Amino acid sequence: MFEVRIPQECWDDDSEGAISTWFFDTGDAVEKGDVICEVMNEKVATEIEAPESGTLTIRTLAEAAVRKGDVIAMIETA
């Protein structure tokens, strides 16, 4: 089981961001490198890629606040 976290490189400070869009649903198959969601912090949008291939389970819904390092989804590898 792999955790998908908001990467530390996303933005500079400790402020909050939010997931603006999920590009997959819970239960979908994702491949390593797929852009699975977009995170917004102030004005900048960052795409988050799947770190591994497997089945996605979303933990944090769109528009919920997130901080760097937060777990936003899980990927179950086959």
Partner 1 sequence: MLWMYEMMVASRHFEDLIKPAYFEGKQPVFNMAKGPLPGEMHLSDGQEPCAVGVCAHLKSTDTVTATHRPHHIAIAKGVNLNDMASEIFGRANGLSGGRGGHMHLFDPRVNFCCSGIIAQGMGPAVGAAMAAKLRGTGDVAVAFIGEGAANQGAFHEALNLAAVWKAPVVFVIEDNAYGISVSKRQATAVDGNAERAVAYGMPGHFVPDNDPDEVFGIAGDAILRARDGGGPSLIEIETVRLEGHFMGDAEGYRPEGEKTSLKEKDPVTRYRARLEQVGEASNRLDQLEHAARSQVAAAFDHARQSAPPKPEDAFTTVFA
Partner 2 sequence: MQEKKRKLTIAKAMAEAISLEMRASDDVLVMGEDIGKMGGVFGNTLGLLESFGPERVRDTPISETGFIGTAVGMAAAGMRPIVELMFVDFFGVCMDSIYNLAAKQSYFSGGNVTCPMVLMTSVGGGYGDAGQHSQTLYATFGHLPGLKVVIPSTAYDAKGMMAAAIADPNPVIFMYHKALQGMGWLGTVQRSITHVPEARYTVPLDTAEVVRPGRDVTLVGLGHTVHVALDAAETLAANGIEAEVIDLRSIAPLDRRSILASVGRTGALISIDDDYHSYGVGAEIIATVAESGMAGLKAPPKRISYPDIPVPFAPEMEHAVLPNSEKLVRAAMTLLEEPAHV
Nearer to partner 2, 62 or 71 (CB): 62
Mapping DSSP onto H, E and C, the string for 11-25 reads CCCCCCEEEEEECCC
Q: Does the footprint of partner 2 cover residue 23 (CB under 8 A)?
A: yes
53 touches 36 (CB < 8 A) = no
Q: Which residues contact 27 (CB under 8 A, 6 or more apart)?
A: 55, 56, 57
Q: Residue 31's binding partner, choosing from partner 2, partner 1, none, with beta-carbon cut-off 5 to 8 A by kind?
A: partner 2
Q: Is 12 in the site for partner 1 (CB under 8 A)?
A: no
Footprint (CB under 8 A) of partner 2, residues 36-55: 38, 40, 43-45
Q: Is 28 in the site for partner 2 (CB under 8 A)?
A: yes
